[in-house]
Amino acid sequence: MFKTMDEIKISVIIPVYNNETTIVRCIESVINQKLDGIEIIVIDDGSTDNSYNIVSEYSNKYSNLRVVKSKHQGQGLSRNIGLQMAKGEYIGFVDGDDAISDVMYERLYQKIGDADICQCNAWVVQSHNEHKAELKRFEGEIEVKDRVKYMNEFFFTYIHSHGCCNKIYRKSFLDVNNIQFADNAKVHSEDLYFNILAVKKLNKIVFVDEMLYYYYQYKDSHSRSFSIEKIRKLCSLFDMVTNDEFKYILARLGVMNICINLTEFNCNYSEILSRKDFRRLIKLSLKAPEAFYQRIVLISLLVFKGKIRIWIIKKYYGRFRRENEK
């Protein structure tokens, strides 16, 4: 493992909340990494099952694994606790219901060079153990000279994924720019918020086109569990980040993200569509580079009401959800 703080290459932060059925798979995959010098920080987010006891047993066996028990406050603030504790040159994240290849951190560590972030591809593991690639196939080193252009070409198109678990981040990059997770009580998708902050400051990123992370999808998974309350929090998230030169492209991303999630429901969308923060996002996104047809869709969301708006959202944004589910 390692003996001194200087030998810690990567600090891996694992938030855990009632993951007793999956946490062994997760922990074992991180412990068995080929790369030496990995620090494992587990934040038990107020679990009410046996998760804490399971992880504590591992901490007694492995000197590089630390466990902190906290009150339940969500993944975002739990990860921030881990960031405060981390001593590695780089930071990685793994969720308690996922797993990683035994060479993931070795590959990312070898490839990152002087970049701020290194990202790999990932498998989405569905029921019956079916695997599909999460991201488009892409590999290379990108020096970011125009961050708005990068956001439009890489972040909006999801080449740069909105999750944080298939990446390592240079810790000094996060510290200098004060990049932390938002409180889940205020926003939905704290990973997305974290990556928006990172892209706003990004200088260089390396993409590794290998499937090294395993996202396990369950019917009740955090990432697949949508509700009107979570859509409200998405509105709040994008309202928080659309305050600078990135506001137009992020507003466009916000409208798309929110409307795709709305298509999950057979209900009246009037509450969301009448929100001031959502209507602000639409107005800002009209100033982003858009195809003519997309601008017509956005204007229609402002002009029309009732069933016509619902039909527009289901017809136009529903196709993106169906493409993601293939």
Q: Give the Cα separation of 206 and 282 in Å (integer).
A: 32
- pLDDT of 135: 92
Determine phi and psi for 156, rounding to 5 degrees.
-65, -35
- pLDDT at position 3, please? 40
Three-state secondary-structure class, residue 8: coil
DSSP string, 221-275: -GGG---HHHHHHHHHHHHHH-SSTTHHHHHHHHHHHHHHHHTT--S--HHHHT-
- Sorted by where each begins, the domain ranges of the chain are 5-222, 226-325
Where the chain has pLDDT below 50, the residues are: 1-5, 222-225
- pLDDT attached to residue 226: 54
pLDDT in tens, 178-189: 999 999 999 989
DSSP letter at 34 equals S
The domain 5-222 is placed in CATH, from the list 2.60.40.790, 3.40.50.300, 3.40.250.10, 3.90.550.10, at 3.90.550.10
- Answer whether 260's CB lies under 8 Å from 320's CB: yes
pLDDT tens digits, 213-257: 999 986 555 444 457 888 999 999 999 999 999 999 999 999 999
